[in-house]
Amino acid sequence: MKALLRKDFYMSIKYARIWGFSILIFLFVSVWGDQTSLFALYAIFMAGMLPYTLMAYEENCKWHIYCKIFPYSPVQIVSEKYLLTLLSIGSVGLLWVFLHFVHTLGSPESSPFTQFTDLLPLLAFGLIGPSMILPVLFKFGVTRGRMMYYLFIALIFAVSLILFSHEPHFLLNSFLFVWGLLFLFIFSWFLSIHFYKNTSYEHF
Amino acid sequence: MNYALEVKDLCKIYPDFFLDHINFALPYGCIMGLIGENGAGKSTILKLILNQIKKDQGDVFLFGQDVSQLTPKIREHIGIVLDEIGIPGCLNAKQIHAIMRDTYQNWDESYFFHSLKELAIPITKPFKDFSRGMKMKLGIVIALSHHPKLLILDEVTNGLDPLARDEVLDVFNEFTRDENHSILLSSHIVSDLEKICDYITFIHKGKLLLCEEKDWLLSQYGVIHCTAEEFQNFNQAAIKGKKESAYGIHVLVERDKIPSNNKIRPINIEDLFVWMAKEE
């Protein structure tokens, strides 16, 4: 698992620079701009895209076949992507909290803990994309799952735009929303393991 | 007898291809060459051995363990080089070392860097900028640096220049000096296999033509050049193939079924495969 995380770290440094830069811009706009919730959601949504961005590169160089020769179990291969999702979303979430702290520095209510109440629902929102897309990619591969992938992205953006242009915090602050998405993420994790174990590489 | 690899009655059915009841076994300490034309089924056999695709029938055992139950612990003892090394292009050898160090319990850092130096593989150059030969050599070094007991190699010498091929074959010879080490090597460059293999397996259009010791094959088969009348007098059971031309008939024969007064020319493995494949 550590080896796979290390590989993805090296790949992220090389291939995900623009992705990281875009997230930073969204975070800055969310902290210093008007539509704060919406841009924070975009940033967190993009953070969740890291695993499947890397999976596209992996499929391109045939790593997804090559890695099967190494002593990694299917559970490790799948779990690493889910762990990467959590790390990526978690890091961006913490960065968002830090930027808010910097933004309010000097004011009486300034505290690094002020934003933590909003952090959990924000992180939960970031899990929607990976929860829906990763099982599809583990089942069909990135190339064949690409159309599904674009459909999901469009759907998630459309839903978030509708929801957050009206009542931004109504759904996000719901206890059910957070736990529901956490459950969805865990279910997706097990589903991906099941799909990956039964994937044959005859057509890849 | 204990085998590093056993393939029993292996079948795989595709709409346009049938891998037909393949059987062979690779003893410890030996190198087996899997020979066949493009599309013969060599890569399919290797994928089935590595459990990358699902078999329709038969069994494969690595170190006595069914490959469908292959644990990461058993995989520690196998080194594999496929015809395409799937390393992400942005990684360099130093980063690959760091990844493999966390992958294999027996990863030998000094062996890895020593081999890179020996084979003149750059340490900091990204993998995507490597030539085909360099990629293959790096794949081989990765496969060897955790000291596996079995190497499975798919078309590794293809695209290598003669010098690089010679270097690589030396590495394999060195590897099998340990009697517990075995290699299964697939290629259609038969001259390479003839140099290093102990066993030869011919695959043609998904069928197993033969699986024998190389030296036995070379001693068993030969070619006779004769006239049509002389050909009629041969023991027909000894004849394994014939080629007719304006200059007479070339006949592939089993030596021990032909009277010793006939002049039998030796045959190399490549020619033997071509003869047998054409007869099928």
pLDDT digits (tens, 9 = 90+) for A149-167: 778 777 777 776 676 665 5
Q: Which of A5, A10, A60, A204 to mutate to test the interface with B (most CBs of B within 10 A)?
A: A10
Do residues B200 and B230 share a domain?
no
As a whole number of Å, the CA-based R_g of chain A is 18
The minimum CA-CA distance between B201 and chain A, rounded to whole Å, is: 23
Contact A62 B89 (CB under 8 A): no
Mean pLDDT across chain B: 87
Do residues B82 and B42 share a domain?
yes
pLDDT band at B191 (very low <50, low <70, confident <90, very high): confident
Greatest extent of chain B over all pairs of C-alpha atoms, in Å:
69
The answer to whether residue B62 neighbours chain A at the CB level (below 8 Å) is no
Do residues B125 and B194 share a domain?
yes
Q: How many domains does chain B have?
A: 2
The per-residue DSSP string of A162-177 comes to HHHHH-HHHHHT-HHH
Contact B99 A3 (CB under 8 A): yes
Do residues B114 and B209 share a domain?
yes
Do residues B176 and B245 share a domain?
no
Contact A62 B86 (CB under 8 A): yes
Question: Does pLDDT of B143 surpass 90?
Answer: yes
pTM for this one?
Answer: 0.82
ipTM of the complex: 0.83
Contact B88 A57 (CB under 8 A): yes
Do residues B118 and B255 share a domain?
no
How far out from the chain centre does Cα A149 lie?
Answer: 13
Q: Which of B87, B105, B138, B140 to mutate to test the interface with A (most CBs of A within 10 A)?
A: B87
pLDDT digits (tens, 9 = 90+) for B78-114: 999 988 888 999 999 999 999 999 999 999 999 999 9
Among residues 123-142 of chain B, which lie with CB inside 8 Å of chain A?
Answer: none
Q: List the domain boundaries for chain A.
A: 2-197
pLDDT of residue A203: 43
Do residues B140 and B92 share a domain?
yes
pLDDT digits (tens, 9 = 90+) for A118-129: 778 888 888 888
How far out from the chain centre does Cα A14 lie?
Answer: 18
Which of A14, A71, A200 faces B103 most closely, judged by CB atoms? A71
Instruction: Give the domain-ending residue among B216, B247, B265.
Output: B216
Question: Does pLDDT of A115 surpass 70?
Answer: no
Do residues B118 and B225 share a domain?
no
Helix, strand, or coil (residue A72) = coil
Among residues 232-261 of chain B, which lie with CB inside 8 Å of chain A?
Answer: none
Distance CA A172, CA A41 (A): 11
Do residues B88 and B207 share a domain?
yes
Token reading at B113: 């860097």
Instruction: Give the domain-ending residue among B166, B188, B216.
Output: B216
Do residues B109 and B212 share a domain?
yes
Domain that includes residue B256, residue range: 219-279
Do residues B200 and B229 share a domain?
no
pLDDT of residue B122: 92
pLDDT, average across residues B259-279: 81
* Chain B residues near residue A71 by CB distance under 8 angstroms: 72-73, 75-76, 103-104
pLDDT band at A204 (very low <50, low <70, confident <90, very high): very low
Do residues B15 and B148 share a domain?
yes
Question: Does pLDDT of A22 surpass 70?
Answer: yes
User: Residue B127: which CATH number?
Assistant: 3.40.50.300
Distance CA A129, CA A184 (A): 11
* Chain B residues near residue A6 by CB distance under 8 angstroms: 98-99, 102
**CA-based nearest residue to B79, from A72, A7, A1, A71:** A71
pLDDT digits (tens, 9 = 90+) for A177-200: 778 888 999 999 999 999 988 876
**What distances in angstroms separate CA B113 from CA A151, B29, B117, B209, one per listed residue?**
46, 26, 6, 41
Which residues lie closer than 8 Å to A13 by C-beta, 6 or more apart? none
* Chain A residues near residue B82 by CB distance under 8 angstroms: 65-66, 69
Contact B102 A6 (CB under 8 A): yes
Q: What torsion do the CA atoms of A103, A104, A106, A107 make, to the nearest 10 degrees?
A: 160
Question: Does pLDDT of B31 surpass 60?
Answer: yes
pLDDT of residue A188: 93
Mean pLDDT across chain A: 82
The minimum CA-CA distance between A9 and chain B, rounded to whole Å, is: 10
pLDDT of residue A172: 57
Which of B75, B86, B89 faces A65 most closely, judged by CB atoms? B86
pLDDT of residue B130: 92
pLDDT, average across residues A108-132: 77
* Chain B residues near residue A69 by CB distance under 8 angstroms: 50, 75, 78, 80, 82
Instruction: Give the domain-ending residue among B199, B216, B233.
Output: B216
Percentage of chain B beyond pLDDT 90 is 33
Question: Does pLDDT of B197 surpass 70?
Answer: yes
* Chain B residues near residue A202 by CB distance under 8 angstroms: 14, 53-54
pLDDT, average across residues A65-90: 91
β-pair type (B78-81, B150-154): parallel
The minimum CA-CA distance between A2 and chain B, rounded to whole Å, is: 6
pLDDT, average across residues A2-20: 91
pLDDT, average across residues B40-57: 88
